[in-house]
Amino acid sequence: MAGPPPGIFVSPERIGLRQATTFFGFCDKHDSALFRELEAFEFASQPKQIALLGYRALCRDLYGKEAEIAASDAMRLYVSMNLDIPGFAEKDQRYQITRLGRLNARKNLTRAREAFAEMLTPNGAESLRYFGILFGDAPVYLASSASLPEWDFTGGHLQDLSGLDDFYPICFSAWAKANQAAAVFCWHKSADGICTPFIDSLRESPPRRIADRILTTAFEYSENVVFRSDWWEGLREQDRR
C-alpha cells in the first residue's frame, strides 16, 4: 500500500479476520475453555460474559506490557555492550525512567487481572461494575483494551499518572450482540472512585455525541482496534485525518 497522506502518522492496513481477532496469550485449548461462554453463545450482557471481556482485555494488555519490557531490556543490553554508541548516559537514564513506568504499569495491570479472575468465580460477580450501550446497527469496529483514565469527558481530572502509585484501569470492549453493536465498559469495584465519574461524564454527554466519543476513546487508548474497510473508505478525507 502507499504511504499515509501528509499530516497522518499512521494509516490502516488490511489484515485477515483471524489475524485481527486472534490473541496469542493462551493456547487454543485453554482459550476455548476459558472464553466459551463469550465465544460459543450469543452475547446477552450477562455478568460472566462482561467479566470475560474485561479479563481478556487485561490479559492482552499485560501480554503487550511484558513484551515492551523484554524488548527494552534487550535493547539496553545491546547498548551497554557497545559503549561507543553516542549519548549512552542519556539513553540509559531515559531507559531507567521508562522501565520504572512500565514495571508500575505491569504491577497495576496484574492486580486488576487478578481481581477480574476472582470475578469469574461463582460468587465474584458482586464486585463487577459495568456500563454498556447497545446500538441499533451492526458493528463497524471491534476493540478490546484496558486503559487508565486520567481525565473524564468534561475535562475533570481523575488520577495522576506521573508517579508510581496504584492506578485503576477500566476495560473497554466494542463487541457484537446478534446483528447489533455493543460498547461495554467494566471495572472492579475498587476502581469506583475513578471509573464511576468517568462513565458519569460519558452518560451526561449529548446523546448525538456518545457514539463518537466512544469511538474516539477506542482510537485514543487502544492499540487493538479493527474496523470494516467499507466503513473507513466511506468516510470523508477530513474525517479520516
Share of the chain above pLDDT 70, in %: 94
Average pLDDT over residues 120-144: 93
pLDDT category of residue 172 using cuts at 50, 70 and 90: very high
Within a domain: 98 = yes
Within a domain: 4 = no
Within a domain: 234 = yes
**Number of domains comprising the chain:** 1
pLDDT of residue 21: 65
Average pLDDT over residues 218-238: 88
Range(s) of the domain holding residue 223:
25-240
pLDDT of residue 1: 42
Least confident of 84-88, 155-159, 167-171: 84-88
Distance CA 139, CA 219 (A): 15
- Comparing 19 with 219, the larger pLDDT belongs to 219
- Comparing 212 with 34, the larger pLDDT belongs to 212
pLDDT of residue 11: 77
Average pLDDT over residues 59-83: 86
CB neighbour class for 50 (10 Å; exposed up to 12, middle 13-18, buried from 19): buried
Within a domain: 17 = no
Within a domain: 126 = yes
Within a domain: 7 = no
pLDDT of residue 9: 63
At 74, list the grid cell. 534487550
- Comparing 48 with 21, the larger pLDDT belongs to 48
Mean pLDDT of the chain: 87
Tell me: the pLDDT tens digits for 104-131?
A: 999 999 999 999 999 999 888 999 999 9
Average pLDDT over residues 187-204: 96
**CA 144: distance to chain centroid?**
5
| Nearest to 145, CA basis, from 46, 35, 219, 34 | 219
3-state secondary structure of 132: strand
Within a domain: 226 = yes
Full strand arrangement of the beta sheet holding 128-134: 128-134, 180-188, 170-177, 141-147, 225-227
Within a domain: 47 = yes
Tell me: the pLDDT tens digits for 20-36?
A: 666 777 777 777 887 88
